[in-house]
Amino acid sequence: MADIALHDVRKKYGSVDAIKGVSLDIADGEFVVLVGPSGCGKSTLLRMIAGLESITGGEISIGGRIVNDLEPSERDIAMVFQNYALYPHMTVRQNLAYGLKNRNTPKDEIDRRIVAAAKALEIEPFLERKPRQLSGGQRQRVAMGRAIVREPAAFLFDEPLSNLDAKLRVQMRVEIKRLQRSLATTSVYVTHDQMEAMTLADRLVVLNAGRIEQVGTPIELYEKPETTFVATFIGSPSMNLLPMEASASWSLAESAVAPSRAVTLGVRPEDLYLPEPNSLGNGFQIRATVAAVELVGAESYVHGILPNQQSIVFRVPGRTRIAVDEQLTVHANHGSLHFFDEAGKRLN
């Protein structure tokens, strides 16, 4: 096990700055998720930690050892890819043993590690099968097993669940988190799926155009996004962002809750509500015309159009009867409002 430290790490492809001075400390045993939209640099950053990409500037250390010039095999890391990267002509057992044999690990030690990994991943019945005889979820378990038997200082995951269906992704998320906790191995995980990121991470690192936008626990980023970018990227559906001059109807007393420099008001769909009949509600309120209603089970998401033609989304109980074109007044409490300045930086 080991900590990982990045100091002013940069990557250029010709004249293009892909990574623009990233600094980050990852504690021993911590599970950190790099998340962001396509092209933000998260996979490039992971590959630089692994040694699969050279760095243009800065410093990377693993376990206190600077690894800038070390080959991937010398960094004591194991990587799990989205395409499994299994040898099709080998059995599961042979796939698990391959890397250990190349390191001249004694046979009895190889057997011990394979048995332990197979038991932890529940792939014991498949050890004599070949990858083509396995489902996608089973193949991903084998790919994880191949990393586990290495007993590395750190695990690196590059979107390992992106090829699985929705149900399997949920199952594998639980499995990965359980394994990481039991093994207590430092892990860096890349995904573009913010739900995956929220459920797995001890800490989230949100990347935007090659820079770190915000670092924190999932709940910190959800409750206190530092920028409008993070506010709209973390949470599903994303936070509603409304121009202050057209956002709400305030009483004179209520207007004091908005910082003077605020130009954008943010409110999450789940923090908006319809008041009970004959109730006036309180705080923020806004009129919206219903454009669509999405029933997703126990709740529904209502898509509305404001008087300025901007869209807004809010959540209601699934059995709430709301009709398209209905006029509604939606409320939110003052404590659930977020305010941002002209540069998109948080004010409250």
Q: Write the secondary structure of the chain as one string of H (helix), E (strand) and C (coil).
A: CCCEEEEEEEEEECCEEEEEEEEEEECCCCEEEEECCCCCCHHHHHHHHHCCCCCCEEEEEECCEECCCCCHHHCCEEEEECCCCCCCCCCHHHHHHHHHHHCCCCHHHHHHHHHHHHHHHCCHHHCCCCHHHCCHHHHHHHHHHHHHCCCCCEEEEECCCCCCCHHHHHHHHHHHHHHHHHHCCEEEEEECCHHHHHHHCCEEEEEECCEEEEEECHHHHHHCCCEHHHHHHCCCCCCEEEEHHHCCCCCCCHHHHCCCCCCEEEECHHHCECCCCCCCCCEEEEEEEEEEEEECCCEEEEEEECCCCCEEEEEEECCCCCCCCCEEEEEECHHHCEEECCCCEECC
pLDDT higher than 60, residue 250: no
Cα 20 to Cα 35: distance, rounded to the nearest angstrom: 16
What pLDDT digit, counting tens, does each position of 4-40 carry? Answer: 999 999 999 999 999 999 999 999 999 999 999 999 9
Contact call for residues 270 and 330 (beta carbons, < 8 A): no
- With a pLDDT cut of 90, the percent of the chain lying above it is 66
Lowest mean pLDDT among 127-141, 200-214, 246-260, 300-314: 246-260
* The pLDDT value given to residue 70: 95
- With a pLDDT cut of 70, the percent of the chain lying above it is 95
Q: What spatial distance separates the first Cα and last Cα of the chain, rounded to whole Å?
A: 39
Cα 124 to Cα 38: distance, rounded to the nearest angstrom: 36
Return the number of other C-beta atoms located less than 10 Å from residue 296's C-beta: 9
* The pLDDT value given to residue 252: 38
Average pLDDT over residues 247-255: 51
Q: Give the full edge-to-edge strand order of the sheet including 57-62.
A: 16-26, 4-13, 57-62, 65-66
Average pLDDT over residues 29-54: 95
pLDDT band at residue 247 under the 50/70/90 scheme: low
What lies within 8 Å, CB to CB, of 178 at 6+ separation is none
Contact call for residues 312 and 239 (beta carbons, < 8 A): no
* The pLDDT value given to residue 195: 87
* The pLDDT value given to residue 102: 87
| Phi, psi at 200, each rounded to 5° | -95, -35
pLDDT higher than 70, residue 117: yes
Nearest to 177 by CA among 166, 167, 159, 189: 189
Of the two residues 25 and 258, the one the predictor is more confident about is 25
What lies within 8 Å, CB to CB, of 130 at 6+ separation is 88, 89, 90, 91, 92
* The pLDDT value given to residue 282: 61
What pLDDT digit, counting tens, does each position of 291-330 carry? Answer: 999 998 899 999 999 988 899 999 999 888 899 999 998 9
pLDDT higher than 80, residue 248: no
Cα 72 to Cα 95: distance, rounded to the nearest angstrom: 19
What pLDDT digit, counting tens, does each position of 268-299 carry? Answer: 999 999 887 666 556 688 889 999 999 988 99
How far is residue 95 CA from its own chain's centroid?
Answer: 29
What pLDDT digit, counting tens, does each position of 186-205 carry? Answer: 999 999 888 899 999 999 99
Average pLDDT for the chain: 90
* The pLDDT value given to residue 1: 64
* The pLDDT value given to residue 165: 85
Nearest to 244 by CA among 132, 118, 114, 339: 339
Lowest mean pLDDT among 85-94, 110-119, 251-260: 251-260
Cα 221 to Cα 206: distance, rounded to the nearest angstrom: 9
Average pLDDT over residues 222-237: 94
